[in-house]
Every structure is written in C-alpha cells, then in structure tokens.
Structure 1
Amino acid sequence: MNSLRDLNSEAVLRFGPYAFYPSQRLILDGDRPLRMGGRALDILQVLVERAGTVVSKDLLIARVWPTSVVEEINLRVHIAALRRALGDGQNGQRYIVNVPQQGYSFIASVQRMHERTPISIDRPQHNLPARLTPVTGRDSVVGSLSRQLPVRRFMTLVGPAGIGKSTVALRVAELLLQHYGDGVWRVDLALIDNPAQLDEHLLRALELNGGLAALAHWHALLVLDNGEHVLERCRTLTEDLMASAPRLSILVTSREPLRARGETVLRLPPLSVPPISVHGVTEAMSYSAVQLFVSRARARQQGFVLREQDIKAVREVCRRLDGLPLAIELAAAQIDALALVGLQAQLDNCFELLTLGRRTAVPRHQSLKAALDWSYERLNVREQTLLHRLAVFKMAFTLQAAVDVIQCAVLRPPVVAGLMQRLVDKSLLSMDTVHGQPRYRLLNTTRRYALEKLEHNAQTLMAVE
C-alpha cells in the first residue's frame, strides 16, 4: 500500500462505493459528490495513503494542521464527521477504526486506478471569515456545541461584552462545515439597526432570491451573530424557521436569551484565571486567561516569554480584566509600550488603556468601552440608574443589600428585584446561588464602567444646579 503515497494528478482511489480524486479534492458516491470540509479531506487522504497501517494522532495533526497548534479534540471532531459522511458502520461497512493509545487506521480495501477526472467540483458553501488567530481555552464549550447543535438544532450562546461569543460560534461553524449539505452561513445582525430589516439582511447573506420559503429543504447551519438588539424579531424568525425548515440548525449569539420555543441556552464563562497560590510558569500556563495573554503578547513583542517573576503581574492583569478575552487581547496589545509593570499600574484606567483593538474588528470590539457602550445604550432609564448604583458594591451582594442601598424615587423596592433580573439576563450582572440564596456581582470591568457613568451623571447634575 505504500505506493498509494506517490499520487499523480490522474490517480483515483476506490474503496467501497466511493471514488476519491486527491488532485481535485473530490470524493464521489457513484455520480454524487460528497459534501466534505477541507480538513476532513486532508485527514482522509493521509489515512488512505497509509491504508492498512496505524497513523498516529500526532502525525495526522502535523499533516493536516502543519502551521497551527491545535488540540486533539479538533481531530476527533473531524474524524467523527468523516465517518458520518462515509456512512462508516452502516450495512456492515467499516472504513476508519480507532486503535487505542496509537491512532487511527483506514481498514477498507483501496484500489488505485487511472481514470479521467471529473470536470465539475461541488464544494461545501459557507461565508465564514478567515481565522487569523487560534481559539484559546474554549475546547470544552466548542466540543459541547459541536456535539449538541446537530441534535438540538437551536441553541443560543449568551454572555457579556467581550466574552468571545462570536469567536466560539465561528469555531463551531468551522468544525461542522462538512456536516451540513447546504453549508454553514454567518449572518451578522449587528450590521442592521431596524428589526424590520432582518429578513432582507438574512436573504442577502444567504444569496437567496426566493424568500425564506427557500430554506424549507435546506440542510444547513445558520449562525445569527449579535442578536440582542433585534431580540423580538430574531425570536419570531427563529421560531418560524424551526417549524418550516426541519433540517435547518440555528446558532445564535446574544447578550441575552431570545426566550424562543425550542431554544437551548448556553452561557459562556470567562477564561480561567489562576489563583493567588499558583506556583511556577508551567502551572500558570495551564490557565486559559494566561495562555491567551502570552499568545497575544508574543504576537506584539517577538521573543516574549512568561518568566517566574512575571506570574504575579500577569495573574493580576487577567483577574482585574475578569478573564474576558477581548479585554485581555487589548491589554496584551500594549505590552510593547508599557511592559508588564506599566500595564499592571494602568489597570485602574482600563478604558483609556484598552483602546487598541484590531483595525479589522467591528467598532464595538475595537475598545472595551465601545463593547460596553453597545449594551448600555440598549438599557432603559431605570436599568441604567440601577446599574450606576450597583457599582458601589465591590464584592458580591444580596438582593436585600441592594434594596437597602440603592432605593430611591426611581427605584422603589418592589421593582428592584425585577430590574436586577433583567440586568442578569442582559449579561451585565452575574448571579450565583450560595447556600440557597442568590448573590449578585458586577464584573470588575462592568463596575468600573458603571462608576464612570455614575460620576458623570453626578457632575452633570451639579452643573445644572
């Protein structure tokens, strides 16, 4: 079988009912092209070239991702999708087996032939942006979403500004590309202001001319990104699509749930931050917030390495920034100008500090303040007032403590609980249950933002008086 590794442009590899044309990156089931992602095809080629032998996971990763650092879960997801596409295990036919502690082996008989290669190539469709940086610290949630989404069909990824919802959603879409016959499509809802524009915006993104009814028979994944400002229309649309298009899956990202029928909500947590007791560089680098900071710092400062004497400062930066990926990326971008000591010293002025986002990012992701402005501007007056007043709490607090401190003519005790729940829903306030009692807390970055708003309002009132 070693001769299979010397493939020329005319080679076609036949196994089972399939014909694989490596030069055209095309696999046919009879006359029907199989829709399969590029990574899955790369894996298939490596395995088929070595049919009958065990290929280690390290070799597969090195061949398929030669310039990237990826986790084993990426390989497992693509192997599972490849098996599904080939119908592995159906009608007694087996193609790829896992050899525990060793790797994978292609066990079907493979024939090498010379045939005229097909002219037309049918590739999966998508409009996903090219990924410029690896995704850090999200393997668990990406794996969970990748497994659940094809089954549950409708999921909403929820979290505060800068938590990385879009990054996770796009990574899931990349991994599921080969699963959906009609591809995966991202629709950025932040590009529209009027909910009435949503349907037309969706049709443009999908390049459909026949209206939403054309989706009835689609086997596709739609990623509706940034849906919080068109919540009601997004809720209606997803419910309609779930009912009319039974092979469609939808992944929404939003700062609050849609509360739609059939919706499964998954809250995205911050990256993990090491405790104060962390010892040594190796242990510190096991926390995803530190991994992200170091990765982005290296991109800005060639040769940057985390040293023993740097651990305390990096931990403090990650902790003060709440493990928020956007904030950590923006902070790391300043490593050249400020160094670690200067960066740590400037954290109290975090909104002035965290302003150097990528020029290619959307405006609300070019600074931490812009990301929070996007949420704040969508609060009503009472919600804004409550957020300002809650900023006096440095630590976690109870509902009763909040009522005792912040009640006023605008915030009567009977309405405070409901308003606090709305801030929780909008990912501006976090809630945990401790000994059966709910306790609330503002992220450090959100609290700093709210304090600035509180001080600004106080100065405005003084000026008016």
Structure 2
Amino acid sequence: MDNFNDVNTAAVLRFGPYAFHLRQRLILDGDRQLRMGGRALDILQLLVERAGQVVSKEQLIARIWPTSVVEEINLRVHIAALRRALGDGQDGQRYIVTVPQRGYSFIAPVHYDSVPQAVFEGLQSPQHNLPARLTPVTGRDALVGGMLRRLPLCRLMTVTGPAGVGKTTVALRVAELLLQHFRDGVWLVDLAQIDVEIPLLQHLLRTLDCDFATLCVRHALLVLDNCEHRREVCKAMVETLLDAAPQLTILATSREVLQASLETVQPLLPLTFPNSSAVDCVAQAMGYPAVQLFVSRARARQHDFSLREQDLPTVREICRQLDGLPLAIELAAAQIGALALVGLHAQLANGLQLLNHGRRTAVPRHQSMQAALDWSYQRLGEQEQRVLQRLSVFKLAFTLEAAQGVIICPMLSASQLAAIIERLVHTSLLAVERGAGTGRYRMLNTTRRYAREQLERSGEGIELERRHARFISRVRHASGEHGIAQFVE
C-alpha cells in the first residue's frame, strides 16, 4: 500500500481505538475526544503519516517550528504528552518509539478511510476574516491547548492582561486552530477600529454580512478584540448575543474583565525569563520563552546572530527590564542589527524610546510600547492618571499603606486612593500579589517608565521622590529594615 497516496485522500486515520479526523484536527477514542495542544497534534500527524518510518528530530522540529529557534527539549515534552494522551505503553500497546540517535517512529498499524474526491470538491474552505500570521507564536503552546479544550464548552472567554502581553496574538492563534470546528466560520471584529458613533451590533452584522435573525442560528466563533475600547457597550452586546444565539461562541480580548454573565476569564501573563541564578548554559536559557522569542526575532534581523554563554547575563537582563512582554521583546530585538547586544542593553536605560520602532504594517498601538501604553492611559480619568504617575516612584512592590504614606494629598482620601488602585489593577496597569495578611502591588518596568515620564512632565517628580525618601526613613527609624520590607520590597 502506498502510504503517501492513502494519506492524501484520507479523511480519517485510524490506529488502535483512535480515529484521527484530519480536517477537524480531532482525535476520538470511541465518542470521547482526546485533549491535546496544536503542536502535539502536528507532531502526531507527521508521525502517523509516516508510520513505520523513522522521522528524525531535525525533521520534526523543522516541520512543527519552521521559523522558530527551538531546543530538542521542547520536542521531547510534546512527545511525552502524546504518549500520555494515547496511553502509550499501557496494556502492552505501543505507538511511538524512540530510535536512539535517530528520532521517533510510529509503529502501530494505521488504516486510512478515504473519501471520494468529489466530496472534497464540494467542501468549502473555512469561512473567516482572520489576518495572515507573519510570525510563530512563542511560549504559549500549553495555554493555547488549554483554551482550545475549554472554549467550545464555555461560550464566552475573555483574555486579559497588560499592554504588549500578546492577547490578540493568542486569541488569533486559538481562532486559527478552531476554524474547522465552527460550521459558519470564525470572525474577527477589532473594536479599536470602530467609530464610537456606529452601533456595535450594526458593525458586527455588517462584518458577518447577515441580519440578527440569521446570526442567531449560526454556529460560529466571534473574536472581539480590544473590548476595553467600548467595554460597557460590548458587555451588553455579548450578553444579548449569548442569550439569543445558542450556537455562538465568543472569544474576547480586553485589558479589563467584561464582567458579563457566563464569562470565563483567561489571564495572560508575560513570558517567563530566567532569574539571576537560574541558568548557566545556553541550552537552559533557551528553555525560557522570553529568551526563545528574543533570539528568534534577533535572528530574523541579523541572520548570523547566535546566543553565546557570555551573552546570557545581558539577554537575561534585557528580558527582565522588558518584563517578558512579547511586544517589548520584539521591538527591542528589531534593533539588534544597529546596536548589537551591548548597545541594546545600554539603550534600555533611556526609557521607552528604543521600543518605538515596530512594524509599519502593524496597527498603531502595536508599533511601539509608547502607543500601546497610550491606549490604556488615555482611557483613565484625570485622578486615575495622577495616581498612576505618582505610583511610579515605587521601583519594586509596595503595599496600600506605603502608597498612602507617599502619594496621599488633601484632594485624595485614603478610601479614594484604595479604590483607584483597585481600578488600576482591573485595567492591567498594576499587578497584585495577594498573600497572607496584606497584598502587594507591582508595576511592570515598562509601565513604570511610561508613568514616570508623565510624572516628570507634571513637575511633581522631585517632590514625590522626597516624600518617598521621607517615608522610607520613617519606617526604617520605627521598625528597621524588616519593617521596610512589610511596605516595599
């Protein structure tokens, strides 16, 4: 049997008790769906298509991560996950074996269910308006896999997080992988691009080219991007749609939770990077997504770029100063050709100027960190802006008591300050670390630099620094260094 021809005409690949539906990217064990991420499915498909053959590690990496810098450990993690999902080795059944020094081989018999070509010709390509993805998504495989499993069941999921963390990127990747799941397509609506005078539902129906009654019977996924732009209106529309359209699923991105009924919140954290003592070799450093992203983007700009052991402290510090934010890392790595690694590190001390030269084809808020933060800052009230500016004097984590001791003023009561700080947390401009006793608040480095620039323009910078120094002095005098740690890290 010619496997190549069989695979090309197959709709389903069967092995053991499993049926791998290729077009739907779905694996069934009887009527039970196996849960696994997109990368794992890609690896399994390649191995099954070449069942009985040895597929080298290099071939797998080149096929699954064609434009990324990926270490072999990533492949091993996905192979181990596949084996667990398939019950490989249980009851004597083997599927994937490791061929030492060569690669992997799928050894179970595979049967191909073919569909006449006329059936394929009658199938329409997936309906969508998703933009073409220009670069791979780094460091989000586990998250995306989890969202793929949960989203069709929860109907409304909101991806939240600070500016530049990659909410749109993750949402679009999930939407791509769900194209075959929704009969009536996947549709992106960017709320940032809509004139505030246009009713949101009207714009949505125009995008989908249908009326409300038609939308209510569609089996579709709506990706509502940048919901913070019109949060209250968006919340009302989402609740109306979910109530009237039982087959509709909504994936939203927002710097602030919608607080809609049926909402499942998916916080998106920055990419992890090594701390000062976590790594001592390049292979270990490349296990961190922030480093992977920096290296891959640096190579895209400077093809002979390679990460050396002597570079590790510098790259680690760059990733730390950029908070592991994908947008900031991409913008910084784009300057590698002009500044080299040492120059890039030195320029980060000059604030956000280095991060103001992104892809001209990107939407404005993704072309620079300044624009991304402007987007959040301009949606704050005047008093919220002033509090954010003043909190920039805290270089590390701080408590509410510390904030009250430094930035309180006659026009701002303690209760008002507490409410505004919570508001800044909700809008992803502050992160909160809840612990026993009291919570600590932390501002990302990029946000703090932005807020500090606004503070300097206001003329309050010197006075706030003096208040901060006096507060530290009072706490140190009253309770020593341990007492300071209770207020600021």
Shared fold (TM-score, shorter chain, > 0.5): yes
Question: 1:418 corresponds to which residue?
Answer: 419
The answer on whether the counterparts of 2:6 and 2:114 sit within 8 Å (CA) in structure 1 is no
State the shift of 1:328 in Å: 0.6
2: CA distance between counterparts of 1:14 and 1:265? 35
- 5 Å-filtered alignment, 1:343-382, equals 343-382=344-383
Give the distance between the partners of 1:216 and 1:176, measured in 2 at CA. Answer: 20
- What is the deviation of 1:100? 5.0
- Label 1:196 to 1:317 Cα distance change in 2 as closer, same or farther (>3 A): same
| CA contact 1:73–1:143 (8 Å) conserved in 2 | no
1:184 alignment partner AA: V
The alignment partner of 1:125 has SS state of coil
| Contact 1:39 1:64 (C-alpha < 8 Å) held by counterparts | no
Instruction: Give per-residue Cα distances to partners, 1:433-464, cap 9 Å, x unaligned.
Output: 1333110011111111111101101189x9xx
1:259 corresponds to which residue? Answer: 259
TM-fit CA distance, 1:109: 5.2
- Where 1:274 maps in the other structure, the secondary structure is coil
On the 8 A contact 2:6/2:112 being kept in 1, the answer is: no
C-alpha deviation, 1:350, in angstroms: 2.9
What is the TM-score of this pair, normalised by structure 1? 0.80
Would the alpha carbon gap of residues 120 and 60 (structure 1) be closer, same or farther in structure 2, given more than 3 Å must change?
A: farther
SS at match of 1:217: coil
CA distance in 2, matches of 1:251, 1:14: 29
Residue 226 (structure 1) aligns with? 226
Opposite residue 378 of structure 1, the aligned amino acid is R
Task: Check if 1:272 corresponds to 2:272.
Answer: yes
Percent identical residues: 54
Structure 1 pair 54–301 and aligned structure 2 pair: CA distance change class (3 A): closer
1:54 Cα shift?
Answer: 7.9
Asked if 1:163 corresponds to 2:165, the answer is: yes
Q: Deviations over 1:12-66 (max 9, x none)?
A: 66889xxxxxxxx999xxxxxxxxxx99999999788668x58869699579658
* Residue 30 (structure 1) aligns with: none
In 2, distance between residues paired with 1:280 and 1:14? Answer: 45
Q: Distance in 2 between matches of 1:282 and 1:44?
A: 25
Unaligned residue ranges in structure 2 (runs of 5+): 14-21, 25-37, 87-92, 98-103, 464-489
- Shift of the 424–61 alpha-carbon distance from structure 1 to 2, 3 Å rule, reads same
Q: Hey, what does 2:450 align to over in structure 1?
A: 449
1:340 aligns with 2:336: no
Aligned residue pairs total: 420
Tell me the alpha carbon deviations over residues 316-374 of structure 1, each in whole angstroms, 9 at most, x when there is no partner: 11101111111111000111111111111111223211111001110111111111001
**CA offsets, 1:356-411, max 9 Å, x none?**
10011101111111110010000001100110111111111111111111111332
- Look up the SS of the partner of 1:434 in the other structure: coil
Residue deviations 1:185-239, cap 9 Å, x none?
A: 1111110141643222212322x232x2212221111110111010001101111
In the alignment, what sits opposite 2:95?
A: 99
Greater mean alpha carbon deviation, residues 193-202 or residues 373-382: 193-202
2-structure distance, mates of 1:324, 1:159: 10
What is the one-letter code of the residue matched to 1:134? P
Task: Please provide the CA RMSD for this pair.
Answer: 3.6
Alpha-carbon distance in 2 for matches of 1:169, 1:280: 33
Q: Rate the CA distance shift 1:103–1:426 in 2: closer, same or farther, 3 A.
A: farther
Matched, 1:136 2:135: no
Deviation at 1:120, TM superposition (A): 3.4
Tell me the distance in 1 between the aligned counterparts of 2:182 and 2:108. 24
SS at match of 1:279: coil
Query: How do 1:198-209 and structure 2 match up within 5 A?
Result: 198-206=200-208, 208-209=209-210
1:159 touches 1:268 (CA, 8 Å); kept in 2? yes
Secondary structure of residue in 1 paired with 2:411: coil
Could you tell me the TM-score, scaled by structure 2's length? 0.77
Q: How many angstroms does 1:5 deviate by?
A: 2.6
Is it true that 1:192 corresponds to 2:188 in the alignment?
no
Q: Cα–Cα, structure 1 residues 419 and 136, in superposed 2: closer, same or farther, change >3 Å?
A: same
Shift of the 195–284 alpha-carbon distance from structure 1 to 2, 3 Å rule, reads: farther
Residue in 1 that maps onto 2:101: none
1:183 and 2:192 correspond: no
CA distance in 2, matches of 1:368, 1:296: 17
**Who is 2:243 aligned against?**
243
Shift in Å at residue 301 of structure 1? 0.6
In structure 2, the partner of 1:120 is 122
**What does residue 301 of structure 1 align with?**
302
State the one-letter code of the partner of 2:4.
R
Q: Which moved more, 1:286-295 or 1:114-123?
A: 114-123
Give the distance between the partners of 1:113 and 1:438, measured in 2 at CA.
60
Q: Partner letter of residue 213 of structure 1? A: A
Instruction: Identify if the C-alpha distance between structure 1 residues 423 and 280 changes in structure 2 by more than 3 Å, giving closer, same or farther.
Output: same
Q: Which runs of 5+ in 1 are unaligned?
A: 17-24, 28-37, 84-96
Aligned pair in 2 of structure 1 residues 413, 195: CA closer, same or farther (>3 Å)? farther
Moved over 4 A (4+): 11-16, 38-51, 53-66, 68-76, 100-119
Which residue is 2:154 aligned to?
Answer: 152
Greater shift in the superposed pair: 427-436 or 248-257 = 427-436
For 2:32, the equivalent position in structure 1 comes to: none
The one-letter amino acid paired with 2:232 is E
Partner SS state of residue 434, structure 2: strand
